[in-house]
Amino acid sequence: MHLLEYQIILGIIATIIGVVCFIPYFNGIIKKKVKPHAFSWLIWGIIQTTVFFAQISKGGGAGAWRNGVGAILILTIFVIAIFRGEKKITRLDKICLISALFGIVLWLITTNPVWSVIIVSVADAIGYLPTMRKSYKNPYQESATIFGLSAISLFISLFALGSINITTVLYPISIGIADTLLVILIIAKRRTIKESKSANGKK
Protein backbone atom coordinates (compact mmCIF):
# COMPACT_ATOMS: atom_id res chain seq x y z
CA MET A 1 0.00 0.00 0.00
CA HIS A 2 1.39 3.40 -0.99
CA LEU A 3 2.01 6.20 1.50
CA LEU A 4 -0.76 8.29 -0.05
CA GLU A 5 -3.27 5.46 0.55
CA TYR A 6 -2.21 5.26 4.20
CA GLN A 7 -2.65 9.00 4.54
CA ILE A 8 -6.14 8.87 3.03
CA ILE A 9 -7.18 6.00 5.33
CA LEU A 10 -5.81 7.75 8.42
CA GLY A 11 -7.44 10.99 7.29
CA ILE A 12 -10.80 9.23 7.04
CA ILE A 13 -10.35 7.56 10.45
CA ALA A 14 -9.40 10.88 12.09
CA THR A 15 -12.40 12.58 10.49
CA ILE A 16 -14.81 9.84 11.60
CA ILE A 17 -13.54 10.00 15.19
CA GLY A 18 -13.72 13.79 15.02
CA VAL A 19 -17.39 13.56 14.03
CA VAL A 20 -18.34 10.73 16.41
CA CYS A 21 -16.96 12.63 19.42
CA PHE A 22 -19.59 15.33 18.83
CA ILE A 23 -22.55 12.92 19.06
CA PRO A 24 -22.57 12.57 22.88
CA TYR A 25 -21.93 16.31 23.15
CA PHE A 26 -24.98 17.22 21.07
CA ASN A 27 -26.95 14.61 23.02
CA GLY A 28 -25.83 16.21 26.29
CA ILE A 29 -26.93 19.65 25.07
CA ILE A 30 -30.35 18.30 24.06
CA LYS A 31 -30.78 16.71 27.51
CA LYS A 32 -29.60 20.00 29.09
CA LYS A 33 -26.73 18.26 30.87
CA VAL A 34 -24.00 19.98 28.86
CA LYS A 35 -23.78 23.78 28.64
CA PRO A 36 -21.13 24.91 26.14
CA HIS A 37 -19.47 28.28 26.60
CA ALA A 38 -20.23 30.35 23.49
CA PHE A 39 -16.99 32.35 23.73
CA SER A 40 -14.79 29.24 23.52
CA TRP A 41 -16.70 27.72 20.61
CA LEU A 42 -16.68 31.00 18.67
CA ILE A 43 -12.90 31.29 19.01
CA TRP A 44 -12.34 27.64 18.09
CA GLY A 45 -14.71 27.89 15.13
CA ILE A 46 -13.00 30.92 13.60
CA ILE A 47 -9.53 29.48 14.11
CA GLN A 48 -10.26 25.96 12.92
CA THR A 49 -11.99 27.21 9.78
CA THR A 50 -9.00 29.37 8.89
CA VAL A 51 -6.48 26.66 9.80
CA PHE A 52 -8.31 24.18 7.57
CA PHE A 53 -7.89 26.41 4.53
CA ALA A 54 -4.28 27.13 5.55
CA GLN A 55 -3.50 23.40 5.78
CA ILE A 56 -5.10 22.77 2.39
CA SER A 57 -3.04 25.54 0.82
CA LYS A 58 0.14 24.10 2.37
CA GLY A 59 -0.46 20.57 1.13
CA GLY A 60 -2.12 19.18 4.25
CA GLY A 61 -4.21 16.79 2.14
CA ALA A 62 -6.24 14.12 3.95
CA GLY A 63 -4.84 15.24 7.28
CA ALA A 64 -6.79 18.49 6.97
CA TRP A 65 -10.17 16.84 6.45
CA ARG A 66 -10.72 16.43 10.17
CA ASN A 67 -10.36 20.19 10.74
CA GLY A 68 -12.73 21.03 7.88
CA VAL A 69 -15.56 18.85 9.20
CA GLY A 70 -14.75 19.87 12.78
CA ALA A 71 -15.05 23.55 11.92
CA ILE A 72 -18.63 23.06 10.72
CA LEU A 73 -19.61 21.18 13.88
CA ILE A 74 -17.85 23.67 16.16
CA LEU A 75 -19.64 26.65 14.62
CA THR A 76 -22.92 24.74 14.96
CA ILE A 77 -22.28 24.32 18.69
CA PHE A 78 -21.46 28.04 18.94
CA VAL A 79 -24.87 28.93 17.54
CA ILE A 80 -26.58 26.49 19.93
CA ALA A 81 -24.52 27.84 22.86
CA ILE A 82 -25.96 31.31 22.31
CA PHE A 83 -29.38 29.96 23.26
CA ARG A 84 -28.67 26.91 25.44
CA GLY A 85 -25.13 27.40 26.69
CA GLU A 86 -23.42 28.90 29.72
CA LYS A 87 -25.14 32.12 30.79
CA LYS A 88 -22.73 33.23 33.51
CA ILE A 89 -20.19 35.30 31.60
CA THR A 90 -17.38 36.66 33.78
CA ARG A 91 -14.94 39.50 33.22
CA LEU A 92 -12.21 36.90 32.63
CA ASP A 93 -14.32 35.36 29.87
CA LYS A 94 -14.66 38.73 28.14
CA ILE A 95 -10.93 39.40 28.45
CA CYS A 96 -10.20 35.98 26.95
CA LEU A 97 -12.56 36.63 24.03
CA ILE A 98 -11.05 40.03 23.26
CA SER A 99 -7.49 38.68 23.61
CA ALA A 100 -8.20 35.69 21.37
CA LEU A 101 -9.91 37.84 18.70
CA PHE A 102 -6.95 40.23 18.78
CA GLY A 103 -4.65 37.25 18.38
CA ILE A 104 -6.69 36.02 15.40
CA VAL A 105 -6.45 39.42 13.69
CA LEU A 106 -2.70 39.53 14.39
CA TRP A 107 -2.38 36.00 13.05
CA LEU A 108 -4.20 36.87 9.81
CA ILE A 109 -1.93 39.84 9.08
CA THR A 110 1.29 38.05 10.01
CA THR A 111 3.31 37.00 6.97
CA ASN A 112 5.92 34.95 8.82
CA PRO A 113 4.60 31.34 8.85
CA VAL A 114 6.39 30.40 12.09
CA TRP A 115 5.03 33.35 14.04
CA SER A 116 1.65 32.85 12.41
CA VAL A 117 1.24 29.30 13.71
CA ILE A 118 2.56 30.30 17.16
CA ILE A 119 0.05 33.16 17.40
CA VAL A 120 -2.91 31.00 16.34
CA SER A 121 -1.90 28.27 18.80
CA VAL A 122 -1.79 30.82 21.64
CA ALA A 123 -5.13 32.33 20.56
CA ASP A 124 -6.71 28.88 20.51
CA ALA A 125 -5.30 28.12 23.97
CA ILE A 126 -6.88 31.33 25.27
CA GLY A 127 -10.17 30.05 23.88
CA TYR A 128 -9.96 27.11 26.29
CA LEU A 129 -9.85 29.34 29.39
CA PRO A 130 -13.59 30.20 29.59
CA THR A 131 -14.49 26.50 29.25
CA MET A 132 -11.82 25.48 31.76
CA ARG A 133 -13.11 28.06 34.25
CA LYS A 134 -16.65 26.77 33.80
CA SER A 135 -15.53 23.14 34.00
CA TYR A 136 -13.63 23.81 37.22
CA LYS A 137 -16.81 25.09 38.87
CA ASN A 138 -19.27 22.79 37.10
CA PRO A 139 -17.40 19.73 35.73
CA TYR A 140 -20.64 17.88 35.00
CA GLN A 141 -21.73 20.57 32.55
CA GLU A 142 -18.94 19.57 30.16
CA SER A 143 -18.13 16.34 28.34
CA ALA A 144 -14.74 14.74 28.83
CA THR A 145 -15.58 12.37 25.98
CA ILE A 146 -15.62 14.96 23.20
CA PHE A 147 -12.28 16.47 24.20
CA GLY A 148 -10.67 13.07 24.76
CA LEU A 149 -11.74 11.73 21.36
CA SER A 150 -10.78 15.06 19.80
CA ALA A 151 -7.22 14.63 21.10
CA ILE A 152 -7.07 11.10 19.67
CA SER A 153 -8.36 12.19 16.25
CA LEU A 154 -5.86 15.05 16.16
CA PHE A 155 -3.01 12.66 16.91
CA ILE A 156 -4.12 10.35 14.09
CA SER A 157 -4.53 13.28 11.68
CA LEU A 158 -0.85 14.15 12.13
CA PHE A 159 0.13 10.89 10.43
CA ALA A 160 -2.28 11.63 7.58
CA LEU A 161 -0.75 14.99 6.68
CA GLY A 162 0.55 15.16 3.14
CA SER A 163 3.22 17.65 4.16
CA ILE A 164 4.94 17.77 7.56
CA ASN A 165 6.01 21.26 8.57
CA ILE A 166 5.47 23.68 11.43
CA THR A 167 2.45 25.21 9.67
CA THR A 168 0.61 21.90 9.50
CA VAL A 169 1.63 20.20 12.78
CA LEU A 170 2.04 22.78 15.55
CA TYR A 171 -1.62 23.78 15.70
CA PRO A 172 -3.08 20.24 15.98
CA ILE A 173 -0.44 19.32 18.54
CA SER A 174 -1.26 22.35 20.69
CA ILE A 175 -5.00 21.59 20.50
CA GLY A 176 -4.37 17.96 21.40
CA ILE A 177 -2.46 19.02 24.51
CA ALA A 178 -5.17 21.53 25.48
CA ASP A 179 -7.88 18.87 24.97
CA THR A 180 -5.95 16.44 27.16
CA LEU A 181 -5.50 19.01 29.94
CA LEU A 182 -9.22 19.82 29.86
CA VAL A 183 -10.11 16.14 30.14
CA ILE A 184 -7.80 15.79 33.14
CA LEU A 185 -9.39 18.86 34.76
CA ILE A 186 -12.95 17.57 34.26
CA ILE A 187 -12.17 14.07 35.55
CA ALA A 188 -10.17 15.37 38.53
CA LYS A 189 -12.92 17.80 39.59
CA ARG A 190 -15.63 15.16 39.24
CA ARG A 191 -13.57 12.78 41.38
CA THR A 192 -13.07 15.49 44.00
CA ILE A 193 -16.83 16.14 44.13
CA LYS A 194 -17.60 12.43 44.45
CA GLU A 195 -15.06 12.00 47.24
CA SER A 196 -16.45 15.03 49.03
CA LYS A 197 -20.02 13.71 48.82
CA SER A 198 -18.85 10.28 49.94
CA ALA A 199 -17.01 11.76 52.94
CA ASN A 200 -20.03 13.85 53.92
CA GLY A 201 -22.27 10.84 53.58
CA LYS A 202 -20.19 8.88 56.11
CA LYS A 203 -20.48 11.58 58.74
Task: Provide the residue ranges of all domains of the chain, joining segments of one domain with +.
Answer: 3-202
Predicted TM-score (pTM) of this structure: 0.79
Q: Are 163 and 59 in contact (CB under 8 A)?
A: yes
Please tell me which residue, 41 or 11, carries the higher pLDDT value. 41
Q: Are 61 and 9 in contact (CB under 8 A)?
A: no
The pLDDT of residue 88 is: 85
Q: Is 143 helix (H, G, I), strand (E, B) or coil?
A: coil
The pLDDT of residue 64 is: 64
Nearest by Cα to 86 from 48, 137, 43, 120: 137
The pLDDT of residue 131 is: 93
- Taking only the tens place, the pLDDT of each residue in 35-68 is 999 999 999 888 888 777 776 766 656 556 667 7
Nearest by Cα to 149 from 15, 5, 42, 32: 15
* Phi, psi angles (nearest 5°) of residue 106: -60, -40
- Taking only the tens place, the pLDDT of each residue in 103-114 is 888 888 887 777
The pLDDT of residue 37 is: 92
**AA identity, residue 99:** S
- Please measure the distance between the N-terminal and C-terminal CA atoms of the chain and give it in whole angstroms: 63
